[in-house]
């Protein structure tokens, strides 16, 4: 396709992603020591990050996936829709939600509120990326992989209209 977007700049390479997953996994394992963890992976964006993170966590983990939609193209529709239901019960569990990116924060805020209604004993949030921008919400994720500039990124799970998720790094698109 001749007019398709290309990566103009790699902002996080494979090695940096691996090192950061190791650091976050060590931190999470320490914070949940002696407990079991119920991880909710927000599909599809968080899939690459979740795999690399979860295989390095040392406490017992059970995980489930949740699918929501909130974005069309590069604009947030600000409306979150649940597309799949959970199979695991969350009552009295220590829940950790893993998402790809904290942009406006509305998706993770909505998901946390939704999961809280299932009476977990705790609920934490972990994102690979957080955009440096002003937000109307006070909510911030408990674990953040990287703070990035306010630009649209793809790769390592993140998409532009479902494409580019398979890139091994995080990069900026040139349109
Ligand atoms: P939020 O609700 O505005 O925080 O956006 C949440 C969702 O929008 C994320 O989970 C991503 O799927 C998508 N998103 C936000 N920013 C980007 C980006 O730069 N690249 C790809 N997807 C993004
Ligand atoms: Mg997306």
Q: Which residue has the higher pLDDT, 83 or 11?
A: 11
The mean pLDDT of 109-134, rounded to a whole number, is 95
Give yes or no for residue 175 having a pLDDT over 90: no
64 as an active site residue: the answer is no
Task: Please name which ligand lies nearest the alpha carbon of 103.
Answer: 1
Split at pLDDT 50, 70, 90, the class of 173 is confident
Q: Which of 52, 99, 100, 103 is catalytic?
A: 103
Q: Report the nearest-CA residue for atom 9 of ligand 1.
A: 101
Show the CA angle centred on residue 67, arms to residues 95 and 59, nearest 5°.
30
CA distance 108 to 113: 8
pLDDT for the residue numbered 172: 96
Taking only the tens place, the pLDDT of each residue in 39-77 is 999 999 999 999 999 999 999 999 999 998 765 566 665
Ligand 1 atom having least distance to the Cα of 104: 3
The mean pLDDT of 22-40, rounded to a whole number, is 98
List the end-to-end C-alpha distance of the chain, in Å, as a whole number: 13
pLDDT for the residue numbered 18: 98
Which of 11, 98, 101, 108 to probe ligand 1 with, by most ligand atoms within 8 A of CB?
101
Residue 112 φ then ψ, to 5°: -60, -45
Alpha-helix runs per DSSP H in the chain: 14-31, 47-54, 106-116
Split at pLDDT 50, 70, 90, the class of 2 is very low
Indicate whether this model's pTM tops 0.85.
yes
């Amino acid at each position: 396709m001749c007019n398709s977007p290309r990566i103009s700049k790699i902002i996080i390479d494979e090695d940096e992603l691996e090192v950061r997953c190791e650091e976050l996994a060590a931190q999470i394992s320490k914070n949940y020591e002696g407990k079991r963890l119920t991880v909710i992976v927000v599909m599809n964006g968080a899939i690459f990050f979740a795999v690399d993170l979860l295989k390095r966590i040392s406490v017992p983990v059970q995980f489930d996936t949740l699918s929501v939609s909130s974005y069309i193209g590069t604009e947030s529709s600000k409306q979150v829709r649940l597309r799949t239901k959970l199979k695991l019960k969350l009552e009295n569990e220590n829940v950790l939600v893993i998402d790809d990116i904290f942009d406006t924060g509305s998706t993770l805020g909505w998901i946390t509120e939704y999961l809280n209604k299932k009476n977990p004993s705790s609920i934490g949030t972990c994102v690979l990326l957080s955009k440096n921008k002003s937000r109307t919400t006070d909510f911030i994720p408990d674990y953040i992989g990287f703070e990035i500039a306010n630009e649209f990124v793809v790769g390592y799970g993140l998409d532009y209209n479902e494409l580019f998720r398979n890139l091994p790094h995080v990069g900026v698109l040139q349109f």
